Amino acid sequence: MNIAIFYNPKTNPKNKSYALEIAAILKMHGLKYLLNPLEKDFRDTHIAISAGGDGTVLYTANLLANHKIPILGINFGHRGYLCETSKDKIEEAIEKIVQKKYHIEEKTRIQAEIRKRKKETIRLDALNEISIGGINRTVYLDLQIKTPERNLKINTAGDGIIVATRTGSTAYNINAGGPILMTEALSLIANNAFFQSDSLLPITKSIVLSSDTKITITDSSHNILNLPYVIADGQEAVRIQKENIVIIKKAKEKNLFIRF
């Protein structure tokens, strides 16, 4: 069994020592391992271990989105909502992996396609959420929501919007006042704002949508001093221009997570 260990030395200098601690236990069990391997090196990996906090899990999940490699999150950070176990139970977790006493959970991912001039398209992917917002300024966004059942046109003015998966519903989404999703769906939140539409109640802050929904967004402020950013899981950001179109929808790729 080949195992890849991913850690981020920039967020905490101790992360490398944590990864080496995991590596030592793997070696005791006769398991092969790689530390922060490149994509060409982890293609034959059976399991990936994320050593750190939720940020490291998100980083690892993004790296492995195109590979059907299950992830075990070991929390060395603070909250560790996305992690399955803690640093105090590393050996117990490794033993369960060796004995194959675990199951795999699939997690939906979402993507944002940013369509620019000359048919250029930039794609951002996320496990938790895609957000669109400005920096200390109000942004004006028009949204067209296409679901299997109906189409909606709404607009909002405020800090922006958040589109969260079920996994991400307990992260940025809930901090902004969004609902916790108990089933596969998308949460659409007006961040420090409200949605307005003739098709909905006069005003509303959040909408729960089918996971097959496609959301098309344009900037309606036309203020070059206040162009919003599209941000994926707080890790990647692209500033959009007034003529750009952003399409948010479920990604074809999924992440696999180890559960005990």
Section 180-185 average pLDDT: 96
Q: Is the pLDDT of residue 57 over 90?
A: yes
Section 5-23 average pLDDT: 89
Q: What pLDDT score does 167 carry? A: 97
- The reply to whether 92 and 160 lie within a common domain is no
- The reply to whether 85 and 129 lie within a common domain is no
Q: Is the pLDDT of residue 24 over 70?
A: yes
Decide which of 61, 82, 101 is a domain's last residue: 101
Q: How many CB atoms lie within 10 A of CB 152?
A: 19
> What residues are labeled active site?
54
- The reply to whether 22 and 53 lie within a common domain is yes
Structural domains in the chain (count):
2
Mean pLDDT, the chain, rounded, equals 92
- The reply to whether 88 and 115 lie within a common domain is no
pLDDT confidence of 49, banded at 50, 70, 90? very high
For 197-228, what is each residue's pLDDT tens digit? 877 666 789 999 999 999 999 998 877 777 89
Q: Is the pLDDT of residue 60 over 70?
A: yes
Q: What pLDDT score does 200 carry? A: 65
Q: What pLDDT score does 203 carry? A: 72
Q: Is the pLDDT of residue 189 over 90?
A: yes
Domain enclosing residue 35, as ranges: 2-101
d(CA 246, CA 160): 13
- What is the CATH classification number for the domain harbouring 132? 2.60.200.30
> Is residue 7 in some structural domain?
yes
Q: What pLDDT score does 202 carry? A: 63
Q: Is the pLDDT of residue 12 over 90?
A: no
Section 56-71 average pLDDT: 94
d(CA 55, CA 166): 17
Q: How many CB atoms lie within 10 A of CB 199?
A: 10
Asked whether 134 and 159 are in contact (CB, 8 A), the reply is yes
- The reply to whether 120 and 218 lie within a common domain is yes
